[in-house]
Amino acid sequence: MSSKLGILFVCLGNICRSPTAESVFASKVEAAGLSDQLRIDSCGTQNYHPGKPPDGRSTVVAAQRGYRLDQLRARVLRPDDFETFDYILAMDKSNLRDVLGICPSTFRDKIRLFLSFASDLGEEEVPDPYFGDGSGFDTVLDLIEAASDGLIQHLRDEGKCA
């Protein structure tokens, strides 16, 4: 197990929301000078796109805000993720149920909705933009940026990061 605190973002197929969260959070962590303290990854609850890059629409919208997704590749949630990550953050309630459904009881306290770190938004879920129009990808980025800031603040408040 790594000595770094592990953060894992989870959505359905790991090509839209969770890789966006991985990239945005990593960028904000770097800007905050915390990269040496955290290990960040993303995955999907379903193995729909193994080894594939993020959705092109996610990549384009993220790039417009200065985030790179092109180096990421989809993977599915693995049994060892429950042990090796300290925070397992689901994008929506459906994925939260899926993750909890396969999680050993000893690790359930690691799992929560990502937007719980941005409670002031009044939203609980990052909506899946895959089947919608292009505007959904901007909405996803707005929510993820806010929750990323909240997660960094939470980690500092809890003394898990300097």
The reply to whether 16 belongs to the active site is no
CB 43 within 8 A of CB 7: no
**Choice among 16, 17, 57, 161 that is catalytic:** 17
Q: Please tell me the predicted confidence (pLDDT) of residue 162.
A: 83
pLDDT of 1 higher than 70: no
Please give the average per-residue pLDDT across 7-20, as a whole number. 98
Backbone phi and psi for residue 70, each to the nearest 5 degrees, phi listed first? -60, -25
Q: Which residues contact 153 (CB under 8 A, 6 or more apart)?
A: 117
CB 8 within 8 A of CB 25: no
CA distance linking residue 127 with residue 3, whole number of Å: 32
The mean of the pLDDT values for the chain is 96
Predicted confidence (pLDDT) at residue 123 exceeds the cutoff of 90: yes
Q: What are 28-48's pLDDT values in tens digits?
A: 999 999 999 999 999 999 999
Instruction: Determine the residue type at 89.
Output: L
Are 152 and 33 in contact, with CB atoms under 8 Å apart?
no
C-alpha 86/C-alpha 118 separation (Å) is 19
Can you tell me the mean pLDDT for 113-126?
96
| Radius of gyration from C-alpha coordinates of the chain | 14
Q: Please identify which of the residues 41, 55, 92, 128 carries the catalytic annotation.
A: 128
Q: What is the end-to-end Cα distance of the chain in Å, rounded?
A: 21
Task: Check if 17 is active-site.
Answer: yes
pLDDT digits (tens, 9 = 90+) for 64-76: 999 999 999 999 9
Domains of the chain in sequence order: 5-157 (3.40.50.2300)
Calculate mean pLDDT across residues 93-98. Answer: 98
11 is catalytic: yes
pTM, two decimal places: 0.97
